[in-house]
Chain A
Amino acid sequence: MSGPSTTFEADDRGYFGGSWGGRFMPEALVAALDELTDAWQGAMADATFVDEFERVLRDYAGTPSRLYHAEKLSAQVGARVLLKREDLNHTGAHKIRNVMGQALLTKRMGKRRVIAETGAGQHGVASATAAAYFDLDCTVYMGAVDTRRQALNVARMQLLGATVVPVDSGSATLKDAINEALREWVATVDHTAYLFGTAAGPHPFPSMVRDFCRGIGDEARQQCLDQYGVLPDAVAACVGGGSNAIGLFTAFLEDEDVEIHGFEPGGDGIETGRHAATIHAGAAGVLHGARTFVLQDEDGQTVESHSISAGLDYPGVGPQHALLAASGRASYTPVTDAEAMEAMALLSRTEGIIPAIESAHAVAGALGVARRLGAEKGPDATVLINLSGRGDKDMGTAIEWFGLGGPGASQEGAE
């Protein structure tokens, strides 16, 4: 480990705060990770690349996304609730920012093929979309369990021209899809780029994914100032691996008066052991190439995680979140499946916006923050929530949870 860092940036070996992150990877991938680091740093310093990235996001992905004042929700909680509408992006989530950046970088590196892993399918769909846009071959690894609960997204990826490979090993969910993608990458690294789906994994992925997602926070901060003349009192996002959260948080890290809240998947409840609240209930360890908080047993074996949201169902978290939690700059709180689903229904009925279940975790947690700040500071207290994705993909889960679809169900199911 290197010495302590005084900033939130990683050092040149990928450690945040001197001890979180790094690169715990097979030697076979080191050359590729070094090549990627050089390419990413060179690209970010090249105005031509940055301009092209911003053009693609604007013209194709639909950014900047809107900052929306949820007035009826605000009235309910006694504080101003702002929603960063990443759900309105092309493909329906913040993920498009990351993959367009990584795919553009893939083209710059002269590679013709990409692989990706996906949990809920959002990153897989985004990757397949970026591959189609940039004319790249695309293979997506997905836990076999997830291919069943996200069948619609599997079909979307296939329609976009990607090959979807179900992964049966381990728990057959996101972490196993990452393992399989890493294995494939070892064998194909000379011509294949790995579009990593979140701000976790070995250096440089946590920093690179953050940089490609940081437009969320940069836009939101400026929009808040432009539209309301103030910074928010708090910002909030859901945290699985943590890409949308770090994309939002990065713009506010130096704003010491802005509270930063991450909401983790609490599953059936922390006390049941069936959850994916990695920071709240995990321990420091190494998973998928980085030292971070990991759900693990006393022998260091990864413990299977659980969340109603496949996109949050991951036993690790990005190492920068580990630093922010350890330093106290951000707080991380679990939200149960039931609380998230209640928030999904609330936002749907109050504002006419159906959020992804991932994003509903942020809504559920942030409304508590809004009530507290409203009571302390009055109705101008402002809470900015990243609505990271839309809920179309989650309708199957919603139908089952609320008992929707039958006569009268819409009146009764979600009460």
Chain B
Amino acid sequence: MTSAKDAFDKSAADGRAALVGYLPAGFPTVEGSITALRTMVDAGCDVIEIGLPYSDPVMDGPTVQAAAQQALDRGVRTTDVLRVVEAVAATGVPTLVMTYWNPIERYGVERWAADFASAGGAGLITPDITPDHSPDWIAAADAHGLDKVFLLAPSSTDERIAMTTAACRGFVYAAAVMGVTGARSSTSGLAEPLVARARTTTDLPIGVGLGVSNGVQAAEIAAYADGVIVGSAFVRTILDHPGDEEAGLASLRALAEDLAEGVRRG
């Protein structure tokens, strides 16, 4: 398995930021999500983030929640998520899962880490646990060499930034706004100072997410961050083409190419 850091390092060697793309597993179907995620890899995503659909997603806005709920309504299971991870990781692109904590605790933290590592997964992005409240996950991730990606927020104190970046492996996720996921019309002024504060505490790459929806925004963020993380905008391409997989994939591909071009301009 590869760490997300390998992809960030490779992008940096090319003189650009990395593009991180997100979709929930099982959306629109399990097979459909595999096809869509592979399309994102083909179109230029350097790192893939797979959402584990959850019933109570506190950090997600309506777009991602709607997609996750569709997946749940169609019966997606945690084991299906592992199957999607295996299929996407086989492309060679570092593949992480973004998940709320309860499904992992329910699956069994150690069991999850072992099965996830066996599937070729790189690590987890965990929006509702912080390093000071996740000793079980940190121990399991360390035992299996998995990336631990914790989030920073504009409200994070300097002390918490230092504590959080010290606990991360792979990359650091800087949330660009005080708010939930969802495409926004303009980029946030909060992200750049947050990235600057984080840089004083770590050599890890720093990715910026929440609210990015097009190549122009990606270029703006790529000017100061090591990675640009895009979720809701990808989800939207598929939500906007219900029942028309080809059209959804075409829209998805066009967006990924626009974003990939954006991170090269930044």
Q: A residues engaging B (CB < 8 A)?
A: 1, 13, 22-32, 169-170, 175, 179, 182-183, 186-187, 189-190, 283, 285-289, 291, 294, 296, 298-302
CB distance from B28 to the nearest CB of A (A): 19
CB distance from A10 to the nearest CB of B (A): 13
The reply to whether A179 and B56 form a contact with Cβ atoms under 8 Å apart is yes
Question: In the complex, what distance in Å separates the CA atom of A176 from the CA atom of B127?
Answer: 18
A286-B153 contact in complex given A28-B175, A170-B55, A186-B179, C-beta closer than 8 Å: no
A31-B156 contact in complex given A24-B101, A287-B102, C-beta closer than 8 Å: yes
The reply to whether A22 and B133 form a contact with Cβ atoms under 8 Å apart is yes
Question: In the complex, what distance in Å separates the CA atom of A163 from the CA atom of B165?
Answer: 40
Chain B residue with minimal CB distance to A1? B135
On chain B, the residues within 8 Å of A296 by CB distance are 102, 106
The reply to whether A27 and B130 form a contact with Cβ atoms under 8 Å apart is yes
The reply to whether A28 and B128 form a contact with Cβ atoms under 8 Å apart is no
On chain B, the residues within 8 Å of A169 by CB distance are 62, 65, 69
Question: In the complex, what distance in Å separates the CA atom of A298 from the CA atom of B58?
Answer: 20
Question: In the complex, what distance in Å separates the CA atom of A298 from the CA atom of B59?
Answer: 23
The answer, yes or no, to whether B91 is at the interface (CB within 8 Å) is: no
- Which of the residues A25, A27, A287, A301 comes within 8 Å of B175, measured between beta carbons? A27
The answer, yes or no, to whether B246 is at the interface (CB within 8 Å) is: no
Question: In the complex, what distance in Å separates the CA atom of A24 from the CA atom of B130?
Answer: 7
Chain A residue with minimal CB distance to B65? A169
The reply to whether A187 and B106 form a contact with Cβ atoms under 8 Å apart is no
The reply to whether A26 and B133 form a contact with Cβ atoms under 8 Å apart is no
| Interface hits, B94-113 → A, CB 8 Å | 101-107
| Interface hits, B46-75 → A, CB 8 Å | 54-59, 61-62, 65, 69, 72
- Which of the residues A25, A183, A285, A299 comes within 8 Å of B130, measured between beta carbons? A25
On chain B, the residues within 8 Å of A23 by CB distance are 130, 133
The reply to whether A302 and B133 form a contact with Cβ atoms under 8 Å apart is no
On chain A, the residues within 8 Å of B154 by CB distance are 28
By Cβ-Cβ distance, the 6 closest A-B pairs, closest first, are A300-B106, A28-B153, A300-B103, A187-B179, A300-B102, A31-B155
Given A13-B132, A27-B160, 17 more A-B residue pairs with CB atoms under 8 Å apart are A22-B133, A23-B133, A27-B175, A28-B175, A31-B153, A32-B155, A170-B55, A186-B58, A186-B180, A285-B105, A289-B128, A294-B102, A296-B106, A298-B106, A300-B103, A300-B104, A300-B106
The reply to whether B101 and A286 form a contact with Cβ atoms under 8 Å apart is yes
The reply to whether A187 and B107 form a contact with Cβ atoms under 8 Å apart is no
Question: In the complex, what distance in Å separates the CA atom of A206 from the CA atom of B105?
Answer: 21
Question: In the complex, what distance in Å separates the CA atom of A179 from the CA atom of B164?
Answer: 25
Q: B residues engaging A (CB < 8 A)?
A: 54-59, 61-62, 65, 69, 72, 77-78, 101-107, 127-130, 132-133, 135-136, 150-157, 160, 164, 175, 177-180
The reply to whether A288 and B56 form a contact with Cβ atoms under 8 Å apart is yes
On chain A, the residues within 8 Å of B72 by CB distance are 301
The reply to whether A189 and B178 form a contact with Cβ atoms under 8 Å apart is yes
The reply to whether B106 and A30 form a contact with Cβ atoms under 8 Å apart is no
CB distance from A301 to the nearest CB of B (A): 4
A-B contact pairs, 30 of them (CB 8 A): A13-B132, A13-B133, A23-B130, A24-B133, A25-B58, A26-B58, A26-B127, A26-B128, A27-B151, A27-B152, A27-B155, A28-B179, A30-B153, A30-B156, A170-B69, A179-B57, A186-B58, A190-B155, A190-B178, A285-B106, A286-B101, A288-B58, A294-B102, A298-B106, A299-B103, A299-B106, A300-B102, A300-B107, A302-B55, A302-B102
On chain A, the residues within 8 Å of B69 by CB distance are 169-170
On chain B, the residues within 8 Å of A13 by CB distance are 132-133
On chain B, the residues within 8 Å of A31 by CB distance are 153, 155-157, 160
Question: In the complex, what distance in Å separates the CA atom of A309 from the CA atom of B133?
Answer: 34
The reply to whether A286 and B105 form a contact with Cβ atoms under 8 Å apart is yes
Question: In the complex, what distance in Å separates the CA atom of A176 from the CA atom of B136?
Answer: 28
On chain B, the residues within 8 Å of A25 by CB distance are 58, 128, 130
- Which of the residues B61, B129, B160, B175 comes within 8 Å of A183, measured between beta carbons? B61
Of B132, B150, B152, B153, chain A has the most CB atoms within 10 Å of the CB of B153
CB distance from A306 to the nearest CB of B (A): 16
A170-B59 contact in complex given A13-B133, A30-B160, A286-B105, C-beta closer than 8 Å: no
Chain B residue with minimal CB distance to A180? B58
On chain B, the residues within 8 Å of A189 by CB distance are 155, 178
Chain A residue with minimal CB distance to B129? A24
Question: In the complex, what distance in Å separates the CA atom of A302 from the CA atom of B101?
Answer: 12
Question: In the complex, what distance in Å separates the CA atom of A31 from the CA atom of B175?
Answer: 14
Question: In the complex, what distance in Å separates the CA atom of A197 from the CA atom of B137?
Answer: 30
- Which of the residues A27, A175, A299 comes within 8 Å of B156, measured between beta carbons? A27
